[in-house]
Amino acid sequence: MNIPVKEPRCILAPNPSPLTGPGTNTFLIGNEHIAVIDPGPDDASHREAILAAAQGKITHIFVTHAHLDHSGGATALARETGAPVLAYGDALAGRSATMRKLADQGVAGNEGLDLQFAPDITLSDGQSVETPEWTLTPLHTPGHSAGHLSFLWRDTLFCGDIVMGWSSTLISPPDGDLAEYFRSLEKIESLGAHRLCPAHGDAISAPANRIAELVRHRRARTSQIMAALRQSPDTAEGIARRIYDVPPALLGAASRNVLAHLVALSDLGAVKSEGEILSQAEFSIL
C-alpha cells in the first residue's frame, strides 16, 4: 500500500509571456520519493526553488513534452539530483506520417522545440511508474506536441499544454496536429478525472466543461476559416489576419493554429492548397 502523500506542490517558473501565461508550473509529488513533473526552463533560480522544496529527495523527473519551457531544465536538474529523466521521447518522437511529410516539405516546426532533449527512460501510453508513495501513469496525449504525455495521479491529471484554463492550446504543425488534439481531448474526458493541472495557469476543477468549451472553440474556428475561404482563397497568415483579433506579437501563433485547421481540412478533402510549402501556400475550397 502506498504511503500517504500530501497534495502536490506547484513551483512557478519565472518565464511569463503571452504564450506561457504566468509561467511554467513545476509540480512535485511525494515526501521521500519526489517526482518532478515538468522541470521548466533552464533557469538557475527556478532550479534552486525546486531543490529547496524537495530537500534532496527527488527520485524521478517527468517531462510532458520537449519544449524548452518544460524540458529545458531537465538535464541540469538530473545532474544535480542523479534522478532519471522520463518522457515519451525526443522532440520529434511520435509525429504521424502526415506531419513527417509536412516536415519533409519544409513546414517549419515550433521555435520552442528542445532539439537537445533526450530522456534517460522512454515511456509508453499507460506504462505506470510506481514508488512506495505514488503511482504515476503516463498517457499519450498528442495534439500540441507529437510526443506529449499527461500524467495521471489518483483522480488528478497533470496535463501539460494539452488543456489549459486561461487559453486555448497552440497547435503548430508539424509538431501540433489538430486531429490528434481532438482525439486527446476525448481520451482525457473519458478518464473522468476530477481535476486537471495544466503546466500553465490554474488547476481546472470541472474538466468536462472545459473540454467541451475547447471543442466548441475549435469547431467555431473551423467555421470561420471555411467562411473566409468562401469569400476568397488565402494563406494561413492571411486568414488569421481576417478572423483573429490579437496583438501583432500573437499573429504568428494564430497563423500556426489556422494552418493546423487547414491541414486537417485538406486531409478531409474540404480544401486544397496551391504551393509546395503549406505554411506559405494559398488555400481554397474544393
Q: What's the mean pLDDT in 197-223?
A: 98
CATH of domain 9-206: 3.60.15.10
- pLDDT in the model for residue 1: 44
- Min mean pLDDT across 94-103, 106-115, 163-172, 204-213 is at 106-115
> DSSP code of 234?
B
Q: State pLDDT tens for residues 36-53.
A: 999 999 999 999 999 999
Q: What's the mean pLDDT in 145-167?
A: 97
Q: State pLDDT tens for residues 61-89.
A: 999 999 999 999 999 999 999 999 999 99
Q: Sorting pLDDT into bands at 50, 70 and 90, what band is 275?
A: confident
The SS3 of residue 203 is: coil
Sheet holding 85-87, edge to edge: 9-12, 25-29, 34-37, 58-62, 85-87, 121-122
pTM (predicted TM-score): 0.95
CATH of domain 214-285: 1.10.10.10
Residue for cell digits 502536490? Answer: 8
Sequence spans of domains, the chain? 9-206, 214-285
Instruction: State the average pLDDT for the chain.
Output: 94
- 3-state DSSP of 131-187: CCCCEEEEEECCCCCCCCEEEEECCEEEEECCCCCCCCCCCCCCCCCHHHHHHHHHH
Q: Which helix (H) or strand (E) holds 54?
A: helix 44-54
Rounded Cα distance, 30 and 144, in Å: 28
CA 59 to chain centre: 24
